[in-house]
Amino acid sequence: MGDEQRFIQPEEIETLDLDWGTIKWLSTPDTTGAETFSSGVVVLKPGEGHERHTHPDSEEVLYVLSGEGVQTIGDETRDVAAGDMLYIPAGVEHSTENDSWEPLRFLAMYGPPGPEDVIRDDPDCVVRPPGETPGSN
């Protein structure tokens, strides 16, 4: 796989395995050559979420694909479900929690790219090579 890939198959992309779920960054400067944004699919396990954090230099858009959860952006918290889109300005604290019994899946996009590298480098993140499923050895 090299830069400027146009058709991305999830099984050809590494998986980031975290305590709270998984991420596949399907479009990054390394996979597609995209320069102004990155995007990937995030799956939060039932009852899980991630702590409030910021991306100081990147805006973020989340599009909920399936499941239900709670999204906090700044001081506002709302229930979210499939079909909802969320915009998080650069530098604004936010968090996502899955408060349901099924996985919460959403598309995450950063502009410009960069925050995906921070997640990948987290010491609690296990990078699974393409084709390897989370939880396997």
Domains of the chain: 12-40+50-92+106-128 (2.60.120.10)
pLDDT of residue 135: 59
Q: How far apart are CA 62 and CA 71, in angstroms?
A: 10
* pLDDT by 10-residue block (mean), the chain, 137 residues: 74 93 93 93 95 94 98 98 98 97 97 88 90 68
Q: How far apart are CA 113 and CA 58, in angstroms?
A: 7
Q: How do 21-27 and 38-44 pair as beta strands? A: antiparallel
pLDDT of residue 2: 47
Q: How far apart are CA 78 and CA 58, in angstroms?
A: 22
Query: What's the pTM value of the predicted model, to 2 decimals?
Result: 0.90
DSSP one-letter code for 53: B
pLDDT of residue 89: 98
pLDDT of residue 114: 86
Nearest CA to 23 among 89, 105, 121? Answer: 105
